[in-house]
Amino acid sequence: MPERTVTVASSVGLHARPAATFSQAAAAKAPLVVTITNGAGRSVNAASILGVLSLGVGHGEEVTLSADGDGADAALDELVSLLESDLDA
């Protein structure tokens, strides 16, 4: 299963608008199921905005994204690029 570790660049972390933007992008990768894991090891479905918000990921924290299936590498690369930008700018 491909994985990517990325540092969250948004100034407010994955809260409100950045979490919504990220979750919508992850949901668009269907039928792939993308999982996001915080530094404490808690994992949620990346397409769930409530799940992403519940992780409490702040600015500068690392998360790990994983997915399995056709196109997983490309999907993860796109999501990593998204998290490396300030989604609240």
Which residues are known catalytic residues?
15
Instruction: Give the SS3 label for residue 3.
Output: strand
Give the separation between CA 71 and CA 61, rounded to whole angstroms.
26
Beta-carbon contacts of 70 under 8 Å, excluding residues fewer than 6 positions away, are: none
